[in-house]
């Protein structure tokens, strides 16, 4: 299953549309006013299905993920000097990526790739292609990509 993750060009807060391979919007993400990033994920019918919430007052960035109102895990940035690294507390997953965080794999607890994320260059807004092996993991993987993108945006500000 492939997802196309596109940030909206003109919005006051973080807003994204996520398309399937047929070009249909299957998720919409809207940022809310909050101290730190607060991203709400809606399905194609407009129902809230997930939330990515940045924890504030932490030494390094940390994001909590909620699926249908229940906590499913977190992702936090680890202190490194050269290559950005993230620690995931969700299903035993881990992130392995490149220097710029444009292309990375999400691996399961056995080291098997469950998703590949590729940032498309030469677009006006952040655009990623997410190749998800198991469609049942799509929402959790989307939450991880949102958290990594939000952390990168915070670093640029």
Residues 40-76 pLDDT 10s: 999 999 999 999 999 887 778 899 999 999 999 999 8
Residues in Cβ contact with 136 at an 8 Å cutoff, skipping those fewer than 6 apart: none
* pLDDT at site 157: 44
* pLDDT at site 99: 58
Q: Cα–Cα distance between 110 and 58 in angstroms, integer?
A: 30
Q: Give the model confidence (pLDDT) of 99-155 as tens digits.
A: 566 789 999 999 999 999 998 887 777 789 999 999 999 999 999 999 988 887 755
Q: What average pLDDT does range 3-23 have in this prediction?
A: 82
pTM for the whole thing? 0.88
* pLDDT at site 13: 63
Q: Is-contact 86 96, C-beta < 8 A?
A: no
* pLDDT at site 35: 78
Residue 57 backbone class (left: φ over 0; alpha: ψ -120 to 50; beta: rest) = left
**pLDDT exceeds cutoff 50 at 31:** yes
Q: Cα–Cα distance between 22 and 93 in angstroms, integer?
A: 28
* pLDDT at site 12: 55
Burial class (CB in 10 A: 0-12, 13-18, 19+), 97: middle
* pLDDT at site 14: 76
9 falls in which pLDDT band (50, 70, 90)?
low
**pLDDT exceeds cutoff 90 at 34:** no
Q: Cα–Cα distance between 82 and 38 in angstroms, integer?
A: 28
* pLDDT at site 22: 95
């Amino acid at each position: 299953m492939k997802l196309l993750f596109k940030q909206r060009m003109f919005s006051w807060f973080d807003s994204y549309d996520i398309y399937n391979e047929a070009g249909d919007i299957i998720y919409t993400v809207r940022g809310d006013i909050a101290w730190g990033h607060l991203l709400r994920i809606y399905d194609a019918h407009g129902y809230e299905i997930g939330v990515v919430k940045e924890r504030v007052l932490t030494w390094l960035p940390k994001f909590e993920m909620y699926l249908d109102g229940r906590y499913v895990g977190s992702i936090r940035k680890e202190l490194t000097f050269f290559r950005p690294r993230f620690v995931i507390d969700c299903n035993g997953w881990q992130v392995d990526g490149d220097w710029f965080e444009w292309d990375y794999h999400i691996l399961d607890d056995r080291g098997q790739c469950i998703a590949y994320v590729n940032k498309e260059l030469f677009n006006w807004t952040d655009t990623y292609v997410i190749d998800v092996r198991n469609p049942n993991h799509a929402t959790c993987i989307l939450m991880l990509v949102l958290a990594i993108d939000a952390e990168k945006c915070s670093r640029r500000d």
